[in-house]
Structure 1
Amino acid sequence: MSREIFITEADKQKLDKLINTEREFGIGGKEYLIHLQQELNRACVVLPQEIPGNVITMNSKVLLKNLDTEEEMTYVLVYPADADLEEDKISVLAPIGTAILGYRENDILDWQVPGGIVRLKVEKLLYQPEAAGNFEL
């Protein structure tokens, strides 16, 4: 059974619009859209002011730990237009982006990669826009 995830109402609206646009105009495979839609469908939707301060929302900066290798990585979860791997900004449409959306500090999640499943722990939420009072990102 999957853990409960949270998403702000504003993020859900933007992501629903993104999914619809990608379905209509995007190219390539749509598996990533199906997975993101499934995550949104199971998420607990709350107002931005009510999101717990330890939940990964859009534009959050997070420290993850690979439990198999002990490697730590820092990412900012962004919309596709803002993705930049050199700046550690990952798209919500990337498999790891979809995987971490809505999870909390200390949650452990399984990330499907071509070679199998990687177990990740959300070590620390370094920045969350809503916790910082920024509800417009």
Structure 2
Amino acid sequence: MSVQIKNPVIVMEEDYQVLKGYINAGAEREDEMTLSSELKRAIVVNKAAFPSHAIRLGSRVSVLDLTTNKVVEFTLVMPADANMQRNKVSILTPIGAALIGFRKGEEVQWQVPGGLKRFRILDVAN
């Protein structure tokens, strides 16, 4: 799970409807640090209530990797639209699952293939 327990994951209703199939299909483990676990603890809101600075499908995101001090910029997309050369990252990647529903300025801790990483969300454009 992410470190921001006091700040819940907020997911737009239309994104939740698209992504919930990944929960129901059993595509992921049911434990911590998965897209399934994040969606299960998410607060689902309609488009009007969704914060403009929160990460959702289609968001352009800038994050600081607090381990390497590198800034990474990408757009969060569905798996079929992922393209690393065009900086389009799938929601099913560790960083995609880690960041969905979090907001500009927040820090997130997440298990990635290289180990436990911490990210600070620098900017979000929806």
TM-score scaled by length of structure 1: 0.80
- Structure 1 residue runs without a partner (length 5+): 129-137
Q: Report SS of the residue matched to 1:52.
A: coil
Q: Secondary structure of 1:81's partner? A: helix
Aligned to 1:118: 117
Measured in 2, the distance between the counterparts of 1:16 and 1:83 equals: 19
**Unpaired runs of at least 5, structure 2:** none
RMSD: 2.0
Q: Looking at CA atoms only, which structure, 1 or 2, has the larger radius of gyration?
A: 1
Deviation at 1:19, TM superposition (A): 4.1
Kindly indicate whether residue 101 of structure 2 is the aligned counterpart of residue 102 of structure 1: yes
Matching of residues 1-137 of structure 1 within 5 Å? 2=5, 3-20=7-24, 23=26, 30-31=28-29, 35-125=34-124, 127-128=125-126
Q: Distance in 2 between matches of 1:80 and 1:72?
A: 22
Which is helix-richer, 1 or 2?
A: 1
Q: Alignment identity in percent?
A: 34
Runs ≥4 residues deviating over 4 A: none
1:32 and 1:95 in contact (8 A); partners too:
no
Partners of 1:18 and 1:77 lie apart in 2 by: 16
State TM-score, norm by structure 2: 0.86
Over 3 Å counting, the alpha-carbon distance change for 1:32 and 1:59 in structure 2 is: farther
- Which letter does structure 1 place at the counterpart of 2:29? E
Number of equivalent positions = 121
